Structure 1
């Protein structure tokens, strides 16, 4: 599917001059950060009241007490946050090494982020721009759609996935609307994602553990 073949208008656009009803997907995308913030604040309050967040040892002991459910819940939450950003995926990437240790946490980050990124591509390939423009702002989408018009888009995409500075989730959706082959996309994600996760996840989590008063 090429960019040119994707729907050019938003699903929420009015027809015949009659305002359409509020788009539930667009509304959910706008409210989801507030929901994520509320959930995070609730968990912090609960952690402080129960003593789980009083020290790193307490936190890791609690995660360990969950058994296999700890990694399973983390993997599901991290994968979901890549597909639909209720909680910024970057926060969970930092949390991985803190909760599970440097090696195990990085492996969990890699599995979850790669799974979410592959889902983004598949969703965009089957739905097109109509859904993407409902989740992200049209200005942001148009900005990065300009990349797809370059003959060097594949290289630029690979570089963006390698560096922890670009909006990876959006770029993965946009890549699904281009003529990029599934095989090429999978190779880029699997080979380039580790470097961003190591630089961002391990780097920031190390700073958090060093300066957080635990």
Structure 2
């Protein structure tokens, strides 16, 4: 009597591509997979972060901190070194795990600390978080990524890694604020891309995204806010 078992082929990388090496997994997920606490937390965290952000705005308006840009920056100055430290930690953490919608923090940097200082803080925090993403993915692999991000989105961007020009496409995506950078940084960690190549791309390409998105959008926001 013979039995039939489901198998998943192991995807190996061609020498000319940066495709990830995937480990064979069962064809069917366990019944409890849909109740994965990490997956649930990843889905709820942005909503919770957005709700907390809205609550902070309401409190800021009631206390007068957000009544003017001068009041806001005076409050940030009153925090001393803790202001930048907390911002850097929260911003870097939001790149690794979606605690707060990252776009809000990138816009908030220049508003809270000024154009130059805020952009520098954005660059440092996002770069640090992006490097952590790569290291985490390199040691854990796709299993963790697929628990944090939607499966369809992961599979879509995994297709990029199968092309010979993946490294160039990745660098372009990091320079332009048009792609999910956090996910791409995780996926890059599952490929054969060298650490030094990845670091060079992050350090050289991230400033353009920070300037285009963070500084650009914050300038527009400040122009239309009644401050």
Q: Is the counterpart of residue 152 in structure 1 residue 165 in structure 2? A: yes
Q: Is the counterpart of residue 28 in structure 1 residue 19 in structure 2? A: no
Identify the residue that residue 100 of structure 1 maps to in structure 2: 113
Change in 2 beyond 3 A, CA 1:8/1:165: farther
Question: Structure 1 regions of 5+ residues with no counterpart?
Answer: none
Structure 1 residue 5, shift from structure 2 partner: 2.6
Query: 2:200 and 2:79 mapped to 1: Cα distance?
Result: 34
Query: 1:13 and 1:42 mapped to 2: Cα distance?
Result: 38
Q: Is the counterpart of residue 184 in structure 1 residue 197 in structure 2? A: yes
Secondary structure in structure 2 of the residue aligned to 1:87? coil
Structure 1 residue 49, shift from structure 2 partner: 1.1
Could you give the per-residue CA deviations for residues 176-200 of structure 1, whole angstroms, max 9, x where no partner exists?
0000000000000000000110111
The answer to whether the Cα contact below 8 Å between 2:20 and 2:161 also exists between their aligned partners in 1 is no
Question: Structure 2 regions of 5+ residues with no counterpart?
Answer: 1-11, 14-18
Aligned residue runs from structure 1 range 57-206, under 5 A: 57-206=70-219
Query: 2:157 and 2:171 mapped to 1: Cα distance?
Result: 14
Structure 1 residue 71, shift from structure 2 partner: 0.1
Question: Structure 1 length as normaliser, TM-score?
Answer: 0.94
Question: Structure 2 length as normaliser, TM-score?
Answer: 0.88
Change in 2 beyond 3 A, CA 1:9/1:52: farther
**Structure exhibiting the larger radius of gyration computed from Cα positions:** 2
Secondary structure in structure 1 of the residue aligned to 2:104? helix
- Equivalent of 2:58 in 17, 20, 45: 45
Query: 2:143 and 2:22 mapped to 1: Cα distance?
Result: 8
Runs of 4 or more, structure 1, over 6 Å off, are none
Identify the residue that residue 5 of structure 2 maps to in structure 1: none
The answer to whether the Cα contact below 8 Å between 2:21 and 2:191 also exists between their aligned partners in 1 is no
Structure 1 residue 9, shift from structure 2 partner: 4.5
RMSD: 1.6
